[in-house]
Every structure is written in C-alpha cells, then in structure tokens.
Amino acid sequence: MKSITSADLVTFVVDSREEAEHALAAEIASVVRAKPNAVLGLATGNTPIGLYRELIRKCATRELSFAHATTFNLDEFLGLERGHPESFHRWMDQNLFGHVDLPRERAHLPEANSGDAGADDDAVRYEAAIRDAGGVDLQILGIGRNGHIGFNEPGSPRDSRTRVVELHEVTRADAARSFGGLEFVPKRAITMGVATICSARRLRVLAFGAHKAAIVRRTLLDAVNSDCPSTFLRGHVDVKLFLDREAAREL
Ligand code: GLP
C-alpha cells in the first residue's frame, strides 16, 4: 500500500481492491472490539460490496460481532415499496444484514415510503436518531461520478443535514440499468447531509476503477466547493481515502 502525502486527505493507493477491503475490515473490527456498541455509518453501491463480504467472513469466524453495534445508512430512494428490488433496504439485507449478528432494530436506513408529506419529518427524525445514538464512530463512503457523497448532489451545502433531495441526472443515469430504465429510477431520495457525514469521528472513503479516476482527481485537487461535494471531505480530522491503481491514474 503506497500513501500519497497531501495536506488534507490521507490517501492510500492499493495494489488490489482486496487489500483495501481487508485493511478497512480490520480497522472496523478493532473499532468494534474496543467499543462493542460502536455506531457505524454504511454505504451502498458496488464499491463496498467486497468490504461487506469480508465483514461477513469475520463474523462467521467470530473475529467480529455486531451484537451490540448500531448502524445508520447514508441514504435511500424515496417512493419505493418496502422490498423493492432496488431499494437500499433490500440491498443491505442481501449484502450485509442477512449474514451478520447485527440486531435488525439497530440497523437504520432512512424511511423510503411515507409519502410526500411525511418525508421531511422522517429526515429530521433520522438526523435526531443519529445524534441520540451518540454520533457515528466510523463512516464508510463511496464517491459518485459527479462527486456526490451519500446523495449530496452537486450544489449541496457544506452545512446540510439529513433531508429530502432531488437526484442529479448523472446519478439517475447511473442507476437506470439496475432499475431497468431511466423512467423507473426515483427522482428523489433522503440522504444524510454533508455536515451529518462530516460529523462522523472517522471517515473511510473507497474508490475503485478507471471510471472513478476523474472524480478522484477533482476530490483531491479541485477547490473545496459544493459543485463537487466530495471536496468537503478534505480537512476532516480523521479521513482516509483508499484507491486502486485505476482510480488513482489521474493523480
Ligand atoms: C450511490 C450511493 C452512494 C455511493 C455512490 C457510488 O448512488 N448513493 O452512497 O457511494 O452512488 O456508487 P458505486 O459505489 O456503485 O460507484
């Protein structure tokens, strides 16, 4: 693992995704061992799948237990029925929650389907629930091709909290294939805000593949600005970025 020295974002370039996944899974295990009731922030997408596989393996071999942990996911599409194949609720069940000993009542995602009137209140309640749990100890993050973190799309303010957002066209286009067409992709979502995310005590960011190279360069080198919300990660007191060689190729 090679590290790139930068004033405000510790960056590691790994030889393989697995190297990053193993390192981060080991860190998560040590956080949970030191504090069994740790609060973890979780992400969806292709990026963290291998990390979750490694966490599942550690639970199976009893190197790790989530029995006393709490989790909060970053975001959820609005308006999907519970159990919709593309909902993040369902995705988390399939890729993590269904395979580890985390009690379901402590695995939180934003509410997807309480209707237009209820969504703003749900967002406020989600933010309060994170605060009441003592805040997030370690947040796992991916980066969207447009610089989104969670669903904080370009233009999201640095001081934003959990709220309802309109999805950006790049985000919807990226989701179109799995939804079976752009017309089926929801237009809105609930997401933790930029400030919510940056309140986590540790931020661990993963970016893999050539399709992330341009946004990785912008994350590290663009002026810190809401045009590219991932630039707001710079300057956090404990943030680490793990890249494979393809994602690092424009640096
Ligand atoms: C998704 C999620 C983000 C995720 C990002 C990247 O839409 N809302 O939390 O980090 O987009 O996705 P992927 O990992 O599939 O590239």
The order of strands in the sheet holding 75-77 is 75-77, 188-191, 163-166
Q: Whose CA is nearest to atom 10 of ligand 1?
A: 142
Q: 38 by DSSP, 3-state: which?
A: coil
Q: pTM of the prediction?
A: 0.96
| CB proximity list for 61: less than 8 A, separation 6 or greater | none
Given the CA of residue 43, which atom of ligand 1 is nearest to it?
9
Q: Please choose from 52, 165, 174, 246 the residue to mutate so as to test ligand 1's pocket, defined by most ligand atoms within 8 A of CB.
A: 174
CA-CA distance, 84 to 113, in Å (whole number)? Answer: 11
Q: Please choose from 17, 42, 47, 49 the residue to mutate so as to test ligand 1's pocket, defined by most ligand atoms within 8 A of CB.
A: 47
CA-CA distance, 87 to 77, in Å (whole number)? Answer: 7
Q: How far apart are the first and last CA of the chain?
A: 16
**DSSP-H helix ranges across 133-212:** 169-179, 194-198
Q: What is the DSSP pairing of strand 188-191 with strand 75-77?
A: antiparallel
Half-sphere exposure of 162 (CA within 13 A, CB side): 24
Helix axes 17-34, 49-60, angle to 10 degrees: 50
Q: How far, in Å, from the CA of 189 to the mean position of ligand 1?
A: 13
Where residue 146 falls among pLDDT bands split at 50, 70, 90? Answer: very high
In this predicted structure, the answer to whether residue 5 has a pLDDT above a threshold of 70 is no
User: Would you name the residues annotated as active-site residues?
Assistant: 75, 146, 148, 153
Q: What is the model's pLDDT at position 113?
A: 78
In this predicted structure, the answer to whether residue 116 has a pLDDT above a threshold of 90 is no
